[in-house]
């Protein structure tokens, strides 16, 4: 049974004219919406538990929820599509040597365009989703890095495109039109990644671009190649950033994510400069090396001007009392240390 190609987003034609009959679409639409609701609920629960965990049992629960969302994303969309007797890889069987270069080129152009639009706003982003924070999380064993590249450049382009473009975008387009379908599916695509606001907008823009390429090329090969290109470039940048981070001086503190106008310490990592200087949770780091501090980005910018072993002055506010302290800078000393973000860059596991 041949499955019609996806609608062209900007063609102006009635999308329903090129999709399966309404009765079949109704059942697939319900299945798609239920899949989206369940996936969104599980993923948001995982993000909430992991970002706000208080002990290792909650952290384990968060990772189990995240694994469950990946399993749902991997298994359910192909089953729904096959349940309706449709092919997963629909559309013309274009030659790879034609579609792959189109996808690669479109991926590079989309990344450049999204970066040019969003770069001015990245510096103002104060929560856990900053690029350097991701680099700190990315630091770790080489096997883990290899797994991330496989997941980002192979698994995600295949199964996320099947779920968000082949299933959701195409099914919604048969009812609400290509443009609204692209907006809805790309919105879910962005929320599912759990990034900070600015980066979520970037993911949303890329989702729109993936939908447009899918509609124009009428095959998943091009958006899959496009998706793999974007992820490959971003992961390569993160790898480079993590290598730089390994050599960067660190304080060993975590900023409270609920306070955005001051650097209030949430946790202090034992054995690192902040702990050695007597910094405690609840303290406010007001100054570092004579410069005011309000965010993680401020500490990173200041520390990048210093070397390992330097002694840096600081000012701590505790119960309205001003305390002058000194930090003897150090860095990540082992793979175990590398697994925990430091210098206010994200959640630190409880001991």
Tens digits of per-residue pLDDT, 292-343?
988 887 887 888 787 888 888 889 899 888 989 888 887 654 433 434 444 4
Mean pLDDT of 109-130: 61
Collapsed DSSP state (helix, strand, coil) of residue 326: strand
φ, ψ of residue 317 in degrees (nearest 5): -105, 120
- Whether residues 294 and 321 share a domain: the answer is yes
> What contacts 24+ positions apart, CB below 8 Å, involve 177-180?
177/7, 177/15, 178/7, 178/8, 178/9, 178/10, 178/11, 178/15, 178/211, 178/215, 179/9, 179/10
- Ranking 79-88, 280-289, 317-326, 333-342 by mean pLDDT, the lowest is 333-342
- Whether residues 206 and 258 share a domain: the answer is no
Domain final residue, candidates 245, 267, 301 = 245
Number of domains in the chain: 2
Q: Would you state the pLDDT for residue 93?
A: 56
Q: Would you state the pLDDT for residue 191?
A: 87
- Whether residues 161 and 271 share a domain: the answer is no
Mean pLDDT of 117-124: 59
- Ranking 42-46, 142-146, 259-263, 322-326 by mean pLDDT, the lowest is 142-146
Tens of pLDDT, residue by residue over 56-78, are 677 677 778 878 888 888 888 88
- Whether residues 199 and 312 share a domain: the answer is no
Mean pLDDT of 68-96: 77
- In this prediction, what percent of the chain has a pLDDT beyond 90? 11
Q: Which two tokens stand for residue 165?
A: 């473009």
Most confident of 58-67, 134-143, 259-268: 259-268
Collapsed DSSP state (helix, strand, coil) of residue 241: helix
Kindly indicate the confidence band of residue 349, based on its pLDDT and cuts at 50, 70 and 90. very low
φ, ψ of residue 265 in degrees (nearest 5): -75, 125
- Whether residues 212 and 164 share a domain: the answer is yes
Query: Is the alpha carbon torsion for 206, 137, 255, 316 positive or negative?
Result: negative
**pLDDT of 203 above 60:** yes
Crossing angle for the helix pair 221-246 and 197-217, to the nearest 10 degrees: 150
Strands 291-292 and 265-268: unpaired
Q: Would you state the pLDDT for residue 122?
A: 55
Q: Would you state the pLDDT for residue 129?
A: 38
Kindly indicate the confidence band of residue 226, based on its pLDDT and cuts at 50, 70 and 90. very high
Cβ(89)–Cβ(219) below 8 Å: yes
Domain final residue, candidates 215, 245, 275 = 245
For the purposes of burial, counting CB atoms within 10 Å of the CB of 95, is it exposed (0-12), middle (13-18) or buried (19 or more)?
exposed
**pLDDT of 229 above 60:** yes
Question: Could you tell me the residue range of the domain that residue 292 belongs to?
Answer: 253-338
Tens of pLDDT, residue by residue over 22-44, are 344 677 888 888 888 888 888 77
- Whether residues 226 and 83 share a domain: the answer is yes
Collapsed DSSP state (helix, strand, coil) of residue 250: strand
Most confident of 118-122, 148-152, 242-246: 148-152
φ, ψ of residue 326 in degrees (nearest 5): -130, 135
Give the CB-side neighbour count of residue 109, counting CA atoms within 13 A. 11
- Ranking 59-68, 267-276, 283-292 by mean pLDDT, the lowest is 59-68
Q: Would you state the pLDDT for residue 293?
A: 87
- Whether residues 39 and 140 share a domain: the answer is yes
Q: Would you state the pLDDT for residue 168?
A: 92
Cβ(162)–Cβ(220) below 8 Å: yes
Q: Let me know if residue 349 belongs to a domain.
A: no
Q: Would you state the pLDDT for residue 302?
A: 85
Q: Tell me the longest C-alpha to C-alpha distance in the chain.
A: 76
Q: What is the pTM of this model?
A: 0.65
Q: Let me know if residue 22 belongs to a domain.
A: yes
Q: Let me know if residue 330 belongs to a domain.
A: yes
Give the C-alpha separation, 144 to 106, whole Å: 28
Give the C-alpha separation, 24 to 339, whole Å: 48
Domain final residue, candidates 245, 273, 305 = 245
Alpha-helical segments (H) within the chain: 22-51, 56-83, 96-122, 131-138, 142-150, 170-176, 178-193, 197-217, 221-246, 273-276, 296-303, 335-338
Contacts of 123 (CB under 8 A, 6+ apart): 297
Give the C-alpha separation, 40 to 46, whole Å: 10
Give, for 160, the enclosing helix (H) or strand (E): none
Kindly indicate the confidence band of residue 92, based on its pLDDT and cuts at 50, 70 and 90. low
Q: Would you state the pLDDT for residue 67?
A: 82
């Amino acid at each position: 049974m041949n499955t019609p190609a996806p609608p062209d987003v900007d063609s102006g034609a009635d999308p329903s004219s090129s999709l399966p009959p309404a009765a079949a679409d109704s059942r697939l639409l319900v299945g798609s919406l239920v899949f989206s609701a369940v996936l969104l609920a599980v993923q948001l629960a995982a993000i909430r538990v992991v970002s706000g965990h208080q002990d290792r049992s909650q952290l384990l629960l968060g990772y189990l929820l995240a694994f469950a969302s990946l399993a749902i994303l991997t298994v359910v969309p192909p089953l729904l599509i096959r349940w309706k007797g449709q092919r997963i890889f629909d559309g013309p069987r274009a030659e790879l040597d034609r579609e792959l270069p189109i996808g690669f080129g479109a991926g590079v152009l989309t990344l450049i365009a999204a970066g040019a639009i969003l770069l001015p706003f990245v510096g103002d982003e104060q929560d856990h989703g900053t690029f350097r924070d991701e680099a700190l999380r990315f630091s770790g064993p080489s096997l883990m890095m290899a797994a991330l590249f496989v997941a980002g450049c192979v698994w995600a382009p295949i199964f996320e495109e099947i779920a968000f473009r082949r299933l959701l975008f195409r099914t919604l387009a048969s009812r609400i039109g290509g443009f609204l379908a692209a907006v809805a599916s790309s919105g879910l695509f962005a929320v599912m990644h759990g990034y900070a606001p600015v980066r979520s907008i970037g993911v949303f823009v890329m989702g729109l671009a993936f939908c447009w390429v899918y509609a124009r090329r009428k095959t998943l090969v091009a958006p899959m190649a496009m998706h793999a290109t974007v992820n490959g470039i971003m992961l390569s940048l993160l790898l480079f950033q993590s290598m730089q981070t390994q050599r960067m001086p660190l304080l060993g503190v975590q900023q409270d994510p609920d306070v955005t106008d001051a650097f209030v310490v949430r946790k202090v990592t034992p054995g690192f400069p902040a702990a050695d200087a007597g910094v405690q949770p609840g303290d406010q780091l007001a100054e570092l090396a004579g410069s005011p501090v309000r965010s993680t980005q401020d500490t990173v910018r200041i520390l990048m001007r210093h070397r390992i072993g330097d002694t840096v002055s600081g000012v701590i506010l505790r119960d309205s009392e001003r305390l002058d302290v000194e930090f003897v800078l150090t860095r990540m000393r082992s793979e175990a240390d590398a697994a925990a973000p430091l210098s206010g860059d994200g959640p630190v596991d409880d001991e």
